[in-house]
Amino acid sequence: MSKEKVVLAYSGGLDTTAIIPWLKENFDYEVICCCIDCGQGEELDGLEERAKLSGASKLYIENIIDEFCDDYIVPCVKAGAVYENKYLLGTSMARPVIAKRLVEIARKEGASAICHGATGKGNDQIRFELGIKALAPDLKIIAPWRMTDVWTMQSREEEIEYCKQHGIDLPFDAKHSYSRDRNLWHISHEGLELEDPACEPNYDDLLVLGVSPEKAPDEAEYVTMTFEAGVPKTLNGKEMKVSEIITELNALGGKHGIGIVDIVENRVVGMKSRGVYETPGGTILMAAHEQLEELVLDRATYEVKKDLGNKFAQIVYEGKWFTPLREAIQAFVDVTQQYVTGEVKFKLYKGNIIKAGETSPYSLYSESLASFTTGELYDHHDAEGFINLFGLPLKVRAMKMQELEK
């Protein structure tokens, strides 16, 4: 009789490497590792050998970079989704597409369970598991860090020793370092001095994707971008895929110290956590999109879209991607993006994105209306009647208060 199969979300790090022999020892599973490539870069080097060495029967390395960009990042950019005014959802956006691919591999392999290495204090356990429940409610979910009666390891030293006991000699040491999560959109940093909000981040040691604004070049750099229906199409005159545009913007933004955010955020599980996010390309892309959007959206639509953009960010942060509410808000956003087409120009300088002009065939800006000279569509005399009606509630209340004071 063949063993039950479990699909392990495998990063190649110490935690998920130790989980492989642990799953075999405690549950007698056949372990199939699945590493989802969302743009981690060199972090994927040597994964296959490590997974097999640790006892996995198979390793999938699934490149989903373009799917991640087109189907998850772009909707968030269109929505202007920013969590708590700062966080551009780098980790949050990636989790549903990872969960989706894990389910697909589990179905392909006939697995009965999916295992992840997210901790019991973080948001990722929620994001992974909500995605799996929405797509495959019949699959079991194994979360070792919550199974404290079976998962007894509580430190990197213990995990390394456990691996050694199972004949796995790995290139990890027990030295503490930042806890990081990386994909094409961003890299997050937690731990060490960041655990104390009173401490300034050690940017010289911390930054991976770029430099601090102080170390950025003294010369500004101009950038032009075009969008069609809210989707980025060209960068500096060159047509590219969204993933290629983000890659180029990461290099430009990192060079000029763009997109470094130090935030104390409210996790879904109820605690506050402090982290530093580097999102150089994403910060530029979001700013460029908003720069064009303010030219073409009418006031009422823009106002509602801002509110729904905040709601969209909350939905994504909480792992509720595969829900009717996310689909409904995204449908509204897509309608607002029909005419977000045009070109934006800006310059990058020491952490700043400085507007340098924008054009659109659908621009609602009218120079004759906005200028101080009188245009055909605007009669200054009309303003008096408008103000009288617009201010009527204030005037009525003030008159009533005067009566009462007498």
So which residues are the catalytic ones?
15, 95, 124, 179
DSSP secondary structure code for residue 220 in this structure: -
Which amino acid, 138? D
Q: Which of 341, 342, 344, 339 is nearest to 358 (CA)?
A: 344
Which residues make beta-bridge pairs with 140?
A: 113
DSSP state of 235: E
Contact 341, 227 (CB under 8 A): yes
Hey, what amino acid is at 163?
C
In terms of Cα–Cα distance, which of 68, 65, 64, 58 is closest to 29?
58
Gap between the Cα atoms of 120 and 318, Å rounded: 15
Q: Cα(195)–Cα(132) distance, rounded to whole angstroms?
A: 31
Q: Which residues of 310-340 are buried (b: 16+ CB within 10 A; e: fewer)?
A: bebbebbbbbbbbeeebeebbeebeebbebb
Sheet of 140-142: strand order equals: 58-63, 30-37, 5-9, 113-115, 140-142
